[in-house]
């Protein structure tokens, strides 16, 4: 039987006793994957082929305020202070996510979302956006869902959103069940106060091929994708070991190799998929040169042209000197 998103949400919400309030605001952080989510075993429910592991960007993400509109004929959606056109994809995705909850608590809403990062430029604004929306819906309706239930519901909006329910290091367990009730994220207990991330926003332009479509194209057409689950299995084990041991070289090198392997599967797709821009290649080459010069810095990239740097506090001066434009993030502040 092919389950719908509504079937899954109804199952989760069946036990809840709603106690709605008039308005509620929630925040969720952006997350950067060190082992990527790339490929789905179920596209309707966003069930992944592989486990993934991310780190949240503390204090940088989406803030979503929901207000109940007793007399409205539809949902109103605002992004960064501007009304979103009701015919747009963004509006439809937001309404579809609210619809998952509407059977439990009817009525329309005003949705006001602010993103601290560029929307649609490979900086995971959909992850923080759906996580914040899910948290806000649970708060607005007084549903008392736990974090694993929130993670499952956020995943229905966008796979990587299930990781944005938490701060710090987070592992998304892919699960094996057809209904995805075992496919949610959990935080790792470790922190890493010396860890730094550097965001290089090379271009804030929206990309031509969304990650959803890109992922599917890779799974459907790239023979190279066959090796991806094994790559992810190895890398996630290495990353967890690196985190427990605070082994930065192992963490950085594994994250960079994982990102390069994911992009290799994209390039091996048909038609080929390349999110990189000339500026992305220049940044990577600079990273590689810095390492040759003895600076411990590594790079990761998602479904977009922007490059994210990984380093520790001790290298911050050298990294800044090479990339004065970088935006510094301290994930475990
Ligand atoms: C990640 N990405 O792990 C990977 C790396 C992009 C490259 O998760 O279709 O927006 O909504 O489940 O979550 C982006 O994919 O895709 C993503 P959907 P999503 O961060």
Task: Give the residue extent of every domain in the chain.
Answer: 5-187, 195-329
Residues 106-151: tens digit of each pLDDT: 999 999 999 987 554 445 578 999 999 999 999 999 999 999 999 9
If you take atom 11 of ligand 1, which residue's CA is the nearest one? Answer: 158
Judge whether residue 207 has pLDDT over 80.
Answer: no
C-alpha–C-alpha distance, residues 14 and 90, integer Å: 28
Q: Which residues contact 167 (CB under 8 A, 6 or more apart)?
A: 29, 56, 58, 187
Name the pTM for this structure.
0.96
Q: What is the mean pLDDT of the chain?
A: 95
CATH topology for 195-329 is Alpha-Beta Plaits (3.30.70)
- Smallest Cα–Cα separation from 197: which of 293, 54, 327, 295? 327
Phi and psi, residue 51, nearest 5°: -65, 150
Question: Is ligand 1 within 6 A of the CB of residue 159?
Answer: yes
Residues 56-115: tens digit of each pLDDT: 998 899 999 999 999 999 999 999 999 999 999 999 999 999 999 998 999 999 999 999
Question: Is ligand 1 within 6 A of the CB of residue 158?
Answer: yes
pLDDT category at 206 given cuts 50, 70, 90 is low
Helix axes 89-102, 147-157, angle to 10 degrees: 140
Question: Is ligand 1 within 6 A of the CB of residue 211?
Answer: yes
Instruction: Give me the pLDDT at residue 118, please.
Output: 59
**Both structure tokens of 103:** 């059977």
Centre of ligand 1 from the C-alpha of residue 69, in Å: 32
In degrees, rounded to 5, the angle at the alpha carbon of residue 58 between the alpha carbons of residues 92 and 46 is 35
DSSP of 109-135:
EEEEEEESS-TTSSS-HHHHHHHHHHH
195-204, 221-230, 322-331 — which is least confidently predicted?
195-204
Question: Per the omega criterion (within 30 degrees of 0), is the bond before 271 cis?
Answer: yes
Give the CATH class of 5-187.
alpha beta
Average pLDDT over residues 51-60: 95
C-alpha–C-alpha distance, residues 52 and 35, integer Å: 5
Residues 310-319: tens digit of each pLDDT: 999 999 999 9
C-alpha–C-alpha distance, residues 112 and 169, integer Å: 28
CB 110 within 8 A of CB 25: no
Task: Tell me the C-alpha to C-alpha distance, in Å, between residue 104 and each of 20, 125, 137, 158, 262.
Answer: 11, 27, 11, 21, 39
pLDDT category at 201 given cuts 50, 70, 90 is confident
Residues 228-269: tens digit of each pLDDT: 999 999 999 999 999 999 999 999 999 999 999 999 999 999
- Smallest Cα–Cα separation from 37: which of 220, 161, 121, 167? 161
Instruction: Give me the pLDDT at residue 120, please.
Output: 46
CB 51 within 8 A of CB 33: no
C-alpha–C-alpha distance, residues 272 and 288, integer Å: 25
Ligand 1 atom at minimum distance from 157 CA:
11
Within the chain, strands assigned E span 23-35, 40-42, 47-48, 52-69, 76-79, 82-83, 108-115, 169-173, 184-187, 195-200, 297-301, 307-312, 327-329
Average pLDDT over residues 258-284: 97
Residues 147-199: tens digit of each pLDDT: 999 999 999 999 999 999 999 999 999 999 999 999 999 999 999 999 999 99
Instruction: Give me the pLDDT at residue 115, please.
Output: 92
Q: 78: how many CB neighbours lie within 10 A of its CB?
A: 15
Question: Is ligand 1 within 6 A of the CB of residue 172?
Answer: no
Give burial (CB, 10 Å; 0-12/13-18/19+) of 114: middle
Ligand 1 atom at minimum distance from 52 CA:
3
Judge whether residue 204 has pLDDT over 90.
Answer: no
């Amino acid at each position: 039987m092919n389950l719908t998103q509504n079937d899954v949400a109804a199952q989760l919400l069946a036990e809840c006793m709603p106690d709605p309030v008039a308005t509620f605001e929630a925040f969720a952080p952006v997350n950067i994957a060190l082992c990527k989510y790339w490929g789905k075993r179920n596209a309707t429910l966003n069930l992944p082929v592989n486990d993934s592991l991310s780190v949240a960007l503390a204090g940088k993400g989406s803030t979503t305020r929901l207000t109940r509109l007793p007399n409205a004929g539809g949902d109103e959606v605002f992004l960064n202070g501007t009304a979103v056109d009701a015919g747009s994809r963004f509006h439809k995705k937001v309404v579809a996510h609210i619809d998952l909850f509407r059977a439990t608590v009817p009525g329309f809403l005003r949705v006001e979302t602010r993103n601290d990062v560029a929307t649609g430029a490979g900086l995971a604004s959909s992850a923080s956006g759906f996580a914040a929306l899910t948290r806000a819906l649970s708060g607005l309706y007084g549903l008392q869902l736990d974090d694993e239930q929130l993670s499952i519901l956020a995943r229905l909006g966008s796979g990587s959103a299930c990781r944005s329910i938490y701060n710090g290091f987070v592992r998304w367990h892919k699960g094996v069940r057809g209904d995805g009730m075992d496919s949610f994220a959990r935080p790792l207990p470790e922190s890493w106060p010396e860890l730094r991330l550097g965001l290089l926003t090379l271009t804030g332009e929206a990309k031509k091929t969304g990650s959803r479509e890109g992922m599917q194209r890779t799974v459907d057409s790239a023979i190279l994708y066959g090796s991806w689950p094994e790559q992810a299995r190895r890398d996630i084990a290495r990353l967890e070991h690196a985190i427990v041991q605070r082994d930065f070289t192992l963490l950085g090198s594994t994250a960079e190799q994982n990102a390069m392997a994911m992009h290799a599967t994209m390039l091996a797709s048909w038609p080929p998929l390349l999110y990189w821009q000339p500026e992305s290649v220049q940044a990577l080459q600079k990273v590689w040169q810095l390492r040759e010069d003895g600076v411990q810095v590594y790079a990761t990239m998602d479904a977009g042209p922007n490059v994210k740097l990984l380093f520790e506090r001790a290298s911050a001066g050298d990294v800044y000197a090479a990339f004065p434009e970088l935006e510094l993030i301290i994930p475990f502040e």
